[in-house]
Structure 1
């Protein structure tokens, strides 16, 4: 039993140490009951060309799992060249990457159950 508690404590500390503060990167909507986040708009560093989105973010002192990417989250982000979405994402909204003129690569997780239309509209 002591070993189980040690494992749980280590897991909790690891999650807290490696979770990124979401406020520095995205406007979000959240569900505190299920500890889930929906990414609404990228507000992070616009000099970033390759964006690897973590599956968990720290928000209001708690850890939340990223499950949704809302409509037009990265729309007109012409500086982006590649985006990797985490395996926690289940839904991607309408026109998420529209008008991302320099986008060359997007890695989508197998966990997706819903993808909005016109995902890459105006990218070419």
Structure 2
């Protein structure tokens, strides 16, 4: 019903309805930031042709959402827009989308089918990974992955890109990767070992947090900063790195076993 929507100048500011199968009203041009935030009763949503932008956190934590139809007019999907939509199983990225924010599908562990419209050259899906071709960045990893080799074209692993990939046991990160986002591998409980490429200089907050099966991480000499929470709850971990550089100091500080290589 119309009164379920708060709309200002074409921007859907807030949805106050009970959820279920929702068709957004014609005349809306933008789904505003947090418009459906935490609407766990939402099961399906149809976005009309006039909408060009889906704002940050627009459907964050809509756990009951199983299907979303994104119109061909959409050009931008904001960061964390569908994060926590644990019921979402498939999504199609339209041809005109040129920008997708960080963590857009973080925590969507049942999302195992992503289709990129044939005319869209900005994004691709390869080896179960959604990749921004322009930014050379892994945006999202599908939750059913068990082993993956990241393509050589990738230089960045986005924030929470592999979050909750519990079945992932093996990953190969190419030499060209220079940045790994915060919480990129958070709660990948099946992961046992990782070798971080030489070009990486920083390991951010929660990058491997709660990877309870992780026993070995090889860190290059060039790493000069590691967050105190980077390996939180990794109780079986041993750090392998050249003697002397920052990684050895970090290991001692955090009481993590260290092997010089």
1:48 Cα deviation from its structure 2 partner: 4.4
The corresponding residue for 2:47 is 53
Deviations 1:53-90 (A, max 9, x none): 111xxxxxxxxx21100001000001100111000101
The corresponding residue for 1:70 is 55
Gap regions ≥5 residues in structure 1: 1-19, 56-64
The 3 A distance-change label for structure 1 pair 75 and 48 is closer
User: In structure 1, which of residues 26, 37, 47 is the aligned counterpart of residue 29 of structure 2?
Assistant: 37
The 3 A distance-change label for structure 1 pair 106 and 26 is farther
Cα root mean square deviation, aligned: 2.8
1:121 and 2:106 are equivalent in the alignment? yes
TM-score when scaled to structure 2?
0.31
Query: Hey, what's the Cα distance between the residues in 1 that align with 2:7 and 2:53?
Result: 13
Displaced runs of 4 or more, over 4 A: 25-29, 45-48
User: In structure 2, which of residues 65, 68, 75 is the aligned counterpart of residue 80 of structure 1?
Assistant: 65
Structure showing greater radius of gyration is: 2
Query: Hey, what's the Cα distance between the residues in 2 that align with 1:47 and 1:102?
Result: 11
Query: Hey, what's the Cα distance between the residues in 1 that align with 2:9 and 2:106?
Result: 24
Query: Hey, what's the Cα distance between the residues in 2 that align with 1:36 and 1:48?
Result: 19
The corresponding residue for 1:16 is none
TM-score when scaled to structure 1?
0.60
- SS of 2:29's equivalent in the other structure is strand
The 3 A distance-change label for structure 1 pair 39 and 115 is same
Mapping of 1:81-100 within 5 angstroms?
81-100=66-85
Deviations 1:27-69 (A, max 9, x none): 56648xxx872201138x86442322111xxxxxxxxx21100
Gap regions ≥5 residues in structure 2: 12-26, 110-261
